[in-house]
């Protein structure tokens, strides 16, 4: 006969503590901060818009996100630059946008930086992608004669995603922070090319020479036709 294994209350408590500790030590999985563009090309001299989206986060109280805009040609702030930013018009992270702010600086001749931030009026909101995951609408401008490739990325050194500890009103990174950093770091930057312009190819030297020869042949043929008398035609 087999007897059921009996565990003491102390053993059960220790087991529960170990399970809870293992759960807490496991990093929360999230996604990445996404840059969404409707177009893959920009038209020089015209505004180019894109949106920024947040992954799922539990109890987000404040955020600060820095975006980089770079190119391998031209000068940041002259040939390309961040022109404007506004909180998403729908599905925004927080219930209000009163504290939304954006600033733009030129870090170097090839780098323009925009920082967007906000603080939640209700002291913490759960972010759900597709429901309230939209952060901002951002606008880029380029010079009318600029044709270089643009690259947009998230500066992870300037990323702050904080939750508010109500016990002492201190701030700490959200539990999903490390996962978001890793996912965003693994993603490729967003690249935007100049809109392709239709160029009429110039004729090659051989084609020009051929056209010239055809012209000469036609001229000779017309000359020969004028030299033939009506008697010669009647035979």
Question: What's the pLDDT tens digit per position in 150-166?
Answer: 999 999 999 999 999 99
Q: Which two tokens stand for residue 23?
A: 């759960």
Write the DSSP symbol of residue 166: T
In the prediction, which pLDDT does 163 show?
Answer: 97
Q: Is the pTM of this model over 0.75?
A: no
Question: Phi/psi zone of residue 23: left (φ > 0), alpha (ψ -120 to 50 degrees), beta?
Answer: alpha
Judged by average pLDDT, the poorest of 47-56, 77-86, 138-147, 188-197 is: 188-197
pLDDT in tens, 172-219: 999 999 999 999 999 999 999 999 543 445 555 554 555 555 555 555
Q: Check: CB of residue 54 under 8 Å from CB of residue 33.
A: yes
Q: What CA–CA distances, in Å, run from 176 to 37, 100, 103, 166?
A: 25, 22, 26, 19
In the prediction, which pLDDT does 174 show?
Answer: 97
Sequence-ordered list of residues with C-beta below 8 angstroms from that of 164, at least 6 positions apart, any chain:
59, 61, 62, 123, 124, 170, 171
pLDDT in tens, 8-31: 555 544 444 444 444 344 445 569
In the prediction, which pLDDT does 27 show?
Answer: 45
In the prediction, which pLDDT does 21 show?
Answer: 44
């Amino acid at each position: 006969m087999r007897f059921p294994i009996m565990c003491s209350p102390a053993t059960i408590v220790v087991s529960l503590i170990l399970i809870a500790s293992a759960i807490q030590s496991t990093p929360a999985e999230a996604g990445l901060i996404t840059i969404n563009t409707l177009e893959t090309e920009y038209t020089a001299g015209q505004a180019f818009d894109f949106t920024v989206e947040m992954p799922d986060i539990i109890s987000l109280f404040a955020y600060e996100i820095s975006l980089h805009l770079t190119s391998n040609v031209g000068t940041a702030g002259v040939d390309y630059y961040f022109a404007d930013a506004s909180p998403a018009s729908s599905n925004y992270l927080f219930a209000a946008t009163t504290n939304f702010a954006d600033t733009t600086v030129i870090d170097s001749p090839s780098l323009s930086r925009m920082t967007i931030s906000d603080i939640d009026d209700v002291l913490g909101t759960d972010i759900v992608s597709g429901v309230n995951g939209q952060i901002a609408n951002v606008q880029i401008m380029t010079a009318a004669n600029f044709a270089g490739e643009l690259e947009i990325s998230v500066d992870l050194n300037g990323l702050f995603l904080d939750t508010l500890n109500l016990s002492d009103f201190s701030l700490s990174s959200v539990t999903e922070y490390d996962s978001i950093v890793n996912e965003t770091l693994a993603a490729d930057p967003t690249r935007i090319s100049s809109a392709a312009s239709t160029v009429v190819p110039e004729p090659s030297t051989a084609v020009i020479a051929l056209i010239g020869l055809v012209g000469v042949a036609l001229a000779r043929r017309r000359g020969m036709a004028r030299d033939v008398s009506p008697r010669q035609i009647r035979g």
